[in-house]
Amino acid sequence: MSDDPPPIEHPTDRPSLRSGGATDSPQTEGKRFDIFLIDTGWNRAVSQAVREQVAHIARLHPSESIYVLSYEQSADLLKLDPAAIGYDPTILVYDLYARPGAGPGAYRGFRLNLGLMRQPEQALARLQEFARFVATKRDSEQLDREVRRELHREGFDGLVRLLRESSSELLME
């Protein structure tokens, strides 16, 4: 009998990116996110640094699907959202367990705009924070709240963390 771990099964009938709303509980070993790397190569140094880490991210998050768009596909996509031009490389995370809801403000996922970083080291620090967040909060039922609390440093804990971080070099100037 083999000691190999059983293969991770991905649902064949995947929930829509638009609506999310997978019905079972997010506290599963299965997939929760579809992760897309959008990168036109605009910010060459950061782009190269991020692309080198894709395999690492995939290893850390084997349950999730990661899609890496080509430069051309990324450029075509940004035509649909011109306000995001210059923010890439962007990691777009669709939460397949986002609570169903209509209209503006109905959370569907979150994104990490690494192109706003000047230095590859800054981008990698944020990428690490992102990887940690996805790994530790993937079971959360209200991920939008976690994004605000954890990543935006809201609330008193966030304030303390913000003040403790000697992160002027991590935050873009």
Partner 1 sequence: MNEEVQILPLAMLACTGLYLGYEINRRRNKLRKVFNTFDKDESKIADALEALIHSGQLRPYVLE
Binding residues vs partner 1 (CB under 8 A): 16-18, 34, 36, 54-55, 58-59, 65-69, 73, 76-77, 80-81, 92, 94, 101-114, 116-117, 126, 130, 144, 147-148, 151-154, 159, 162-163, 167, 171-172
Residue in the block written with tokens 């894709």: 54
Nearer to partner 1, 1 or 6 (CB): 6
Q: How far apart are CA 89 and CA 18, in angstroms?
A: 22
Beta-strand relationship, 33-38 and 65-68: parallel
User: Do residues 25 and 99 make contact, with C-beta atoms less than 8 angstroms apart?
Assistant: no
Nearer to partner 1, 135 or 171 (CB): 171
**Residue 41 beta carbon to partner 1: minimum distance, rounded to whole angstroms:** 17
**Residue 1 beta carbon to partner 1: minimum distance, rounded to whole angstroms:** 25
The enclosing H or E element of 73 equals helix 71-79
User: Do residues 153 and 161 make contact, with C-beta atoms less than 8 angstroms apart?
Assistant: yes
Nearer to partner 1, 22 or 117 (CB): 117
